[in-house]
Structure formats: C-alpha cells, structure tokens
Amino acid sequence: MYRLLFSLSLIACATCLGCSTTRTTDTARTGMEQLLISNAIDQTLNKTALPDVAGKTVYLEEKYLDSVDKGYIVGTLRRKVLNAGGLLVDEKEGSQVTIELCSGGVGTDNVERFVGMPGLTVPGLPVELPEVRLYEKKSQFGTAKLGIVAYDTPSGQMVYDGGGGLARANDSNWTVLGLGPFQEGSVRNELNRETGGLNVANAIDFSKTIR
C-alpha cells in the first residue's frame, strides 16, 4: 500500500511540474550592423546643412534613393526639415521646395587581423599544429554617402546643393594573449553613453540568474 501511494505521488508531482522549452532566434541582420549604418547616416546628415525652409512647404523626393535602411534615412531627414521649421507635404504639386535624396554608398565592411602562427600540417606526419593568436583585432565599419539637392518646385531652379556627404562609423574588438575582448569605436561610445556601458560579451549577471 505504501509503495502504491508513493508511486501515485510521483506521478502527481510530474503531472503538476510538467516541462517547458524556450526558443530563441536571431534577426537576419545583427543589431551592431544596423547601428553601424544608422550611426554613419546620422553623422552624414548632421554635417549636411539645409536650405532655408522655415515656414515653407517641403516635399521630399525619394525616387533617387536606393539603399539599405532607406526608411531611416528618409525619417531622419524629415525630422531635420521639421526642426528647421519646414512644413512637410505628401504631394509635390503645390509644394514650395523639393528636396531630392540620393545614396552613393550605404553598407558595412569587416576587417580581421591577427599576430601569431596559422595552423600547420606537418608533411608526412599525421600531426597538425593548432593556430596560435597572440593578438587579434576584428573591426566592423558602416559607411554612408548621401547627396542632397533642393530646388524651387514651381520653377525647378536649384536653391541648394549639399554635395555628397560622407561618414563612417566603426566598432572594434581586440584580444591580447586571450585577454579581452577590449572594445572601442564610435558605435561603442554611443552604446556606452546610452546604455550605461552594458557589454554584450559580459552581459550575464550571475547574481540574477542564480537564486
């Protein structure tokens, strides 16, 4: 009788406790890649002046803008126009000023370098020497080149030529003798400023996970 009650108790506990799994996924583009591009876009547009649009109706022409993160580029310029006192309109007809956007290059690059010894296979022997890295540095870059031109909508006469603004954002991670990663770069500075220096590589707080 005791054994029967004990077995029933185990079954009841298992039924009450149950089990669960957690599914995690990654986005198609990393957050760092997107931040590199948006940071470069911000830098480019911040050093690009606008014509006098205060109190004028402004139409943003996007048909010459073909790049990744087009929405962020257009949204940032819209905010810039509004901050300058411009009145945004959705139709070109009836606007006083038209601002055209074009991209000369918006994207990312990666560079990896290290000091050490590459992996080697000893000829004639089933021996393979492992790769040894004394110093390693991985860098990512985001580049944005944007062109802006503005003209009087009714006459088509140009009122402003912003040329092609160019800027680059970067993020670097490096290790020395296995110590690190040590991180630096314009995006890293932005992250530290806005998040209080939270480091993804060391983001696990064991005091919170072990209770």
Give the pLDDT mean for 121-140: 85
d(CA 132, CA 6): 57
In tens, the pLDDT along 24-58 reads 788 888 999 999 999 999 999 998 888 899 999 99
- The yes/no answer on whether domain 29-114+134-198 falls in CATH 1.10.10 is no
Backbone angles phi, psi at 156, to 5 degrees: 80, 5
Query: Is 96 in a helix, a strand, or coil?
Result: coil
Q: Is 152 within 8 Å of 97 (Cβ atoms)?
A: yes
DSSP of 68-90: TTHHHHHHHHHHHHHHTT-EE-S
HSE toward the beta carbon, residue 116, CA cutoff 13 A: 18
Torsion of CA 129, 131, 135, 139, to 10 degrees: 170
In tens, the pLDDT along 158-191 reads 999 988 899 999 999 889 988 888 888 989 888 8
60: closest CA among 151, 164, 182, 146? 151
Q: Is 162 within 8 Å of 48 (Cβ atoms)?
A: yes
Q: Is 132 within 8 Å of 178 (Cβ atoms)?
A: no
For residue 98, the tally of other CB atoms under 10 A from its CB is 19
The helices-and-strands tally (H runs, E runs) of the chain is 5, 8
Q: Is 143 within 8 Å of 168 (Cβ atoms)?
A: yes
pTM: 0.74
**For residue 104, what pLDDT is reported?**
92
Domain ranges of the chain: 29-114+134-198
In tens, the pLDDT along 47-100 reads 888 889 999 999 999 999 999 999 999 999 999 999 999 999 999 998 999 999
Query: What is the rounded end-to-end Cα distance, in angstroms, of the chain?
Result: 38
Reported as type and span, the H/E element at residue 182 is strand 179-184
